[in-house]
Amino acid sequence: MTRISVRHFFPHKKCLTLLLLLLAAEPAWAFGSGGARFWFPEAVSSYGAQVDRLFVIVLAVTGAIFFLVEGALLWFLIRYRRRDGVAAAYVHGNVRAEIIWTVIPAAIVLYLALASQRVWAYIQGPPPPHQLELEIKAEQFAWNIRYPGPDGRLHTTDDVETINQLHLPVGQVVLINLSSKDVIHSLFLPQFRLKRDAVPGMTGRMWVQATNTGNFEIVCAELCGLGHYRMRGFVVIETPDAFQAWLKQVQQEQSA
Ligand SMILES: [Cu+2]
């Protein structure tokens, strides 16, 4: 029986070295300054760059494997095509080959799982101490946003309510309680790299910390009814002073 080793899969040493480099190296080409990527919208949350980094690593690993596997498939198809006078070989498995193609994918999947778990735990785990807590209640087809008034507490008489207008102070950790009045919606803040379902009867807690000022959009990422396409909201990230001034102004308008 033919002995199968790594050499069979990578006949040239350079080929194997290149693959290992690709898997191990940080895909630095994909990282611009400030987390900007040529295919992504701007990242404006404290964890945006981490999510993008994970995305690029997963894409690089799975992309490299895709080309390797499809290339090998093509090579075998051509190299071992039917030819007159050549009898087909009967191969009844190979323990060494099976160990290799089980252990390598298992190690890759384990690496991806551990790398993802770290980022997931940071974003979805216990939030860091927050400076502001607000509530977003989704309904067909709008985002109802509630801010604490001067007393700094939610669900008191001085609360400030807006529709589709999410203002956030830059640099501050903001805790968001997300719920729904009717059906399942999904709060998607592309520039924050944050998406979370709004489920009736449940309150989802999440946190954001904006790193840049600017104007962005909220989109509903769950087909929630006929008006789903127009379930848009607007995000304004501004300095804490500008945020307080805006909140005060809205509160005065509402109490007038
Ligand atoms: Cu919706």
Q: What is the pLDDT of residue 89?
A: 85
Mean pLDDT of the chain: 87
Averaged over 31-36, what is the pLDDT? 44
- CA 223 – ligand 1 centroid, Å: 6
Give the model's pLDDT for residue 1: 45
Task: Burial-class residue 128 by CB neighbours within 10 Å (0-12, 13-18, 19+).
Answer: exposed
Q: What is the pLDDT of residues 161-185, one digit of tens each?
A: 999 999 999 999 999 999 999 999 9
- Give the pLDDT score at 93: 87
Distance, CA 189 to ligand 1 centroid (Å)?
A: 13
Query: Where do the domains of the chain lie, and which CATH numbers do they carry?
Result: 6-124 (no CATH), 132-255 (2.60.40.420)
CA of 220 to the centre of ligand 1 (A): 5
Q: How confident is the model at residue 151 (pLDDT cuts 50, 70, 90)?
A: confident
Task: State in Å: Cα 187 to ligand 1 middle.
Answer: 8
Query: Which pLDDT value is given to residue 169?
Result: 96
Between residues 249 and 17, which one has the greater pLDDT?
A: 249
pLDDT band at 149 (very low <50, low <70, confident <90, very high): confident
- Here the tokens at position 88 are 């087909």
Report the predicted TM-score, pTM, of the whole model to 2 decimal places. 0.76
Q: Ligand 1 centre from 231 Cα, in Å?
A: 6
User: In angstroms, what is the span from residue 3 Cα to ligand 1's centroid?
Assistant: 59
For the stretch 184-206, pLDDT in tens is 999 999 999 999 999 999 999 99
- Report phi then psi at 130, rounded to 5: -110, 155
Distance CA 160, CA 75 (A): 65
Burial of residue 88 (CB within 10 Å: 0-12, 13-18, 19+) is exposed
User: What span, in angstroms and rounded, lies between the C-alpha atoms of 192 and 180?
Assistant: 21
